[in-house]
Structure 1
Amino acid sequence: MPYVPATSYDKDLKIWSGDEIKEYFAPNLSIGEIIFHEMRRHPKLIAQISTTEETILTREELHSNAMRVASYMRSKGLLQSDIVGIIARNTTHIAAVAYGCFFNGIAFHSLNIAYDRGTIEKLFSITRPRIIFCDGDEYEKVREATQDLENVEIVTMRNHPEGGSTPILQILSSSIEDNFLPVRLEQGIDQTLAILCSSGTTGTPKAVTLTNSRKILAGCHSLTTSDVQYTHSGLDWISGVLTTITSGVYSTTRIITDNVYDPVYVLRLIEDRKITWTLQAPSHMAMMVNCPEFESTDFSSIRYFLFGGGRASVETQKLIRSRLSSDGLIFMYGLTELGAMATMNVHFDDKPNSVGRLLSGLKAKIVSEEGESLGPDELGEVCIRNGQHWAGYFGNQQETRKIRDPQMWFHTGDLGYMDYDGFLYIVERKKDMLKYQSIMYYPNDIETIISKMPEVAEVCVFGVWDEVNGDEAVAAVVKRQGKELKAQDIVDYVRDHTEAKYKQLNGGAIIMEELKRSPNGKTNRMATKEYFLNIKGRQ
Structure 2
Amino acid sequence: MPNKPESKYDPKLKVWSGGERSNYFAPHLSIGEIIFREMERHPKLIAQISATEKTVLTREEVRFNAMRVATYMRGLGLKQCDIVGLIARNTTHLVAVAYACFFNGMPFHSLNISYEQDTIEKLLSITRPSLIFCDGDEYERVLAATEHIKLDTTIITMRNHPSGSLRIQDILTTPIEDNFRPARLEQGPDQTLAILCSSGTTGVPKAVTITNSQQVLLTFFRLTSDDVQYTHSTLDWISGLITIISAGVFSTTSIIADNVFDPALLCRLIKEYKITFIFQCPSHMAMLANCPEFETSDLSSIRFYIYGGSNCSLKVQNRIRSRLSHDCLHFAYALTELNSVGCTNLHFDEKPNSVGRPIKGISLKIINEQGEALGPNETGQVCFLNGQNWSGYYGNPEETLIIRDSEKWLHTGDLGYMDEDGFLYIIARQKDMLKYHNIMYYPNEIETVISQMQNVAEVCVFGVWDAVNGDEAAASVVKRHGTNLVAQDVLDFVKEHIDAQYKQLNAGVIIVDDLKRSANGKTNRRATKAHFLEITNRRAFGGQSM
TM class, shorter-chain normalised? over 0.9
- Could you give the per-residue CA deviations for residues 242-296 of structure 1, whole angstroms, max 9, x where no partner exists? 0000000000000000000111111111111111000111011111111111110
Deviation of the 1:219 alpha carbon: 4.4
- Residue 91 of structure 2 corresponds to 91
Q: Do the aligned residues in 1 keep the contact of 2:110 with 2:196 (CA within 8 Å)?
A: yes
Are the counterparts in 2 of residues 190 and 390 from structure 1 also a CA contact under 8 Å? Answer: yes
**Paired position in structure 2 for 1:529:** 529
Q: Which residue identity does 1:35 align to in structure 2?
A: I
SS of the aligned residue for 1:47 comes to: strand
Q: How many residues align?
A: 538
CA distance in 2, matches of 1:268, 1:439: 49
Q: Which residue of structure 2 lines up, in the alignment, with residue 303 of structure 1?
A: 303
Q: Which residue of 2 aligns with 1:538?
A: 538
User: CA 1:14–1:337 in 2, change beyond 3 Å: closer, same or farther?
Assistant: same
Counterpart check, 1:263 vs 2:257:
no
Match of 1:479 in 2: 479
Aligned position for 1:357: 357
Q: Partners in 2 of 1:205 and 1:439 — Cα distance? A: 31
Q: Please say if residues 218 and 360 of structure 1, whose CA atoms lie closer than 8 Å, have aligned partners that are also in contact.
A: no
Other-structure match for 1:53:
53
Q: How does 1:346-425 map to 2 (within 5 A)?
A: 346-425=346-425
1:376-525 to 2 correspondence within 5 Å? 376-525=376-525
In structure 2, the CA distance between the partners of 1:221 and 1:455, relative to structure 1 (3 Å rule), is closer
Name 1:139's counterpart in structure 2. Answer: 139
Alignment of 1:244-255 (within 5 A): 244-255=244-255
State the distance in 2 between where 1:314 and 1:405 align. 34
Aligned to 1:326: 326
User: Could you tell me how far apart the structure 2 residues matched to 1:389 and 1:251 are?
Assistant: 27
The answer to whether the Cα contact below 8 Å between 1:309 and 1:333 also exists between their aligned partners in 2 is: yes
Residues 1:203 and 2:203 aligned together: yes
The aligned counterpart of 2:159 is 158
- Give me the whole-angstrom Cα distance separating, in 2, the residues matched to 1:514 and 1:451: 15
**Contact residue 128 and residue 149 of structure 1 kept, 8 A:** no
Return the alpha-carbon distance in structure 1 between the equivalents of residues 249 and 326 of structure 2: 25
Q: Deviations over 1:467-502 (max 9, x none)?
A: 111111111111111211110110010001011111
Q: Secondary structure at the match of 1:90?
A: coil
User: Which residue in the other structure is 1:224 paired with?
Assistant: 224
Structure 2: distance between partners of 1:51 and 1:359: 33
Asked whether the equivalents of residues 48 and 57 of structure 2 are also in contact (C-alpha less than 8 Å), the reply is yes
Residue 204 of structure 1, CA deviation = 1.6
Cα deviation for residue 220 of structure 1 reads 4.6
Partner of 1:112: 112
AA aligned to 2:273 is R
Q: Does 1:288 align with 2:288?
A: yes
Q: In the alignment, what sits opposite 2:7?
A: 7
- For 1:479 and 1:156, locate their aligned partners in 2 and report how far apart those are by CA, in whole Å: 39
Deviation digits for residues 331-386 of structure 1 (CA, Å, limit 9, x no counterpart): 11010001110000010000000000001011000000111110001000000000
| One-letter amino acid of the structure 2 residue matched with residue 325 of structure 1 | S
Report the Cα offset of residue 121 of structure 1. Answer: 1.2
- Displacement of 1:149: 3.6
Q: Displacement, 1:218?
A: 3.5
1:511 corresponds to which letter in structure 2? I
Match of 1:174 in 2: 174
What's the counterpart of residue 103 of structure 1? 103
Distance 1:520 1:348 in 2: 26
Alignment deviations for residues 391-426 of structure 1 (CA, whole Å, 9 cap, x no partner): 110010000000000100000000000001110011
Query: Helix, strand or coil for the counterpart of 2:296?
Result: coil
The root-mean-square deviation of aligned C-alpha atoms, in Å, is 0.9
User: Runs of at least 4 residues of structure 1 off by over 4 A?
Assistant: none
Residues 309-344 of structure 1: CA deviation (Å, up to 9, x unaligned): 001111111111111111100011010001110000
Query: What residue is the counterpart of 1:128 in the other structure?
Result: 128
Secondary structure of 1:426's aligned partner = strand
Which residue type is aligned with residue 189 of structure 1? P
Q: What letter is aligned with 1:187? A: Q
Distance 1:340 1:93 in 2: 25
Distance in structure 1 (CA, Å) of the matches to 2:364 and 2:389: 17
The TM-score, its normalising length taken from structure 1, stands at: 0.99
Identity, % of aligned positions:
65
Contact kept, 8 Å, 1:219 with 1:359, in 2: the verdict is no
Contact 1:382 1:411 in 2 (8 A): yes
Structure 2 gap ranges (5+): 540-546
Rounded to whole Å, the distance in 1 between the matches of 2:80 and 2:313 is 44
TM-score by length of 2: 0.98
